[in-house]
Amino acid sequence: MPVLPRLNNYDDVYAQFRWRVAARYNIGVDVCDRWAAREPDRLAILHVHPDGREDAVSYGALRDTSNRLANALRAQGVKRGDRVAILLPQAPEVAASHIAIYKLGAVALPLATLFGIEALSYRLQNSGAAALITNAQGVARIAAIRNDVPALKLVLSIDGASDGALDFAATLARASSDFTAVDTESSDPAMMIFTSGTTGQPKGALHAHRVLIGHFPGIETHHDFFPQPGDRIWTPADWAWAGGLLDVLLPSLHYGVPVVARRFEKFDPEEAFALMARTQVRNTFIPPTALRMLRAAPNPQGRHDIRLRSIGSGGETLGAETYEWGKSAFGLTINEFYGQTECNLVLSACNALGVSKAGAIGKPVPGHTVAVIDRAGHPLKAGEIGQIAVQRPDPVMFLQYWGSPQATRDKFIGDWMTTGDQGVMDEEGYVSFIGRDDDVITSAGFRIGPGEIEDCLIRHPAVALAAVVGKPDALRTEIVKAFIVLKQGQAPSDALAADIQGFVKTRLSAHEYPREVAFIDDMPMTTTGKVIRRLLREKV
């Protein structure tokens, strides 16, 4: 089942790895029906309700539900290639919906539950979604924009019929539990995930069924040779995000590793620690912002019986401070990884292979060719700053931006898919993230990445969250401006701002410290936990 050679040397693993991508492949069959045929009672999902109740969902039950849903969708006119949206929090119905859509040969469109009506309207219109699977909350949001999405013919609600939505359970009860999956090619479209939109309007990245295969080596890397006996995984990340869907839910079901599902209205460190202890989580993917929130909770190991084997983190820069905290808090090395919606999980640390360095986002995952390139597409030498890029062909790489052929072409320089992220590779092959192309600050001739400054800022005892941007300046081109969310009990003041500035100045350098500090109540973030710096730049 594992795809990586079980060796103890990174260079040997990278050299010996070979892709095995079958011509015909279907994600739904792979992550569900394959196991259901052999071990129908095997645990697939442990669903923990907010009130503490638990539902154990087997692969056999997932097969039954997904088959009924596939038949129901087909009976309602949904056909191969149609986009079917899923607007639900973590729950077994999300997994069953994805599996059904893939087996039907349709295209899954995951939507984050935090989206407002404008964000939902844009994505449903842009994708031309024919159907939506949601709950009562989603039905209420859609009712306000139903006239704006004429292609949307079918809405199913897991909370029962209302406002033009059909009852999910009743509709499935009338459908057959026998369904023959469409014989898809591995290159056929399977899902569309919209980019987070940190620098402009989100674009629908269309992925093929093979995208899941493309994730396997990275999953095994950042979970230190996943799976191991007794593994059980959880993430606070929304399953609508590539990080939750493709880094946790689908690959774990492929490997037969139980997935813990728990809906959080808002991430709560204490509840997260309690959940991991109660459900005996062994593996987790926790984005850096959530890790920093966990860091604020006192003595978690002393109060909770947490037995983690591996921690993966990605989506934004982890930073040396959080990296070191992970060792002391969990006795583990957090394996940072890197990717994009368009081409996910291509760089990673792997402590089991000795690939780990504070401040770096790892080395190329076996099977992926990653380089730091110049504007002409030439790989740069070690130590030179350029754009992180991934070479095609690559099974994890997107097919196209939906309805945007020019944007798709603009994403490439020759065979290099550009990421828009600035980075540097060292002599050992480690890549360090500098910042988004438009996040890098140019000040008095220096090119400054926000990550190192933000990492330093959160070491200050008063700072909970921090983000920095460049503010236009006539003398220096730009100056560094910091936006700070203070810890509970701390009050903004000029004295505190000066103390924070001095804290950074003495620990980094005179050209990197924030010349302006602004205290804010909430940090603007995408649903994936990334800081939306363009909104901060609008405030400078």
Give the pTM: 0.86
Instruction: Find out whether 288 and 322 touch, Cβ atoms under 8 Å.
Output: yes
pLDDT in tens, 361-391: 999 999 999 999 999 999 999 999 999 999 9
Residue 161 has pLDDT above 70, yes or no: yes
Q: Could you tell me what percent of the chain has a pLDDT over 70?
A: 96
Chain centroid offset of residue 123 CA: 18
Q: Would you place residue 118 in the very low, low, confident or very high pLDDT band (cuts 50, 70, 90)?
A: confident
- What pLDDT does 197 receive? 54
CATH number of 26-208: 3.40.50.12780
pLDDT in tens, 84-98: 999 999 999 999 999
CA max distance for the chain: 71
In the chain, what are the domain boundaries? 26-208, 438-537
Mean per-residue pLDDT, 492-504: 95
CA–CA separation, 352 vs 217, rounded Å?
Answer: 14
User: Which of 5-9, 103-107, 234-238, 455-459 is most confident?
Assistant: 103-107
Closest CA to 238 of 47, 45, 46, 94: 94
Domain 438-537 belongs to what topology? GMP Synthetase; Chain A, domain 3 (3.30.300)
Mean per-residue pLDDT, 30-48: 98
In this structure, of 2-6, 144-148, 170-174, 439-443, the range with the lowest mean pLDDT score is 439-443
pLDDT in tens, 343-355: 999 999 999 999 9
- What pLDDT does 447 receive? 60
Residue 308 has pLDDT above 80, yes or no: yes
Which residues, other chains included, contact 525 with Cβ-Cβ below 8 Å and sequence gap of 6+? 289, 531, 532
- What pLDDT does 26 receive? 98
Q: Would you place residue 302 in the very low, low, confident or very high pLDDT band (cuts 50, 70, 90)?
A: low
Mean pLDDT computed over every residue of the chain: 92
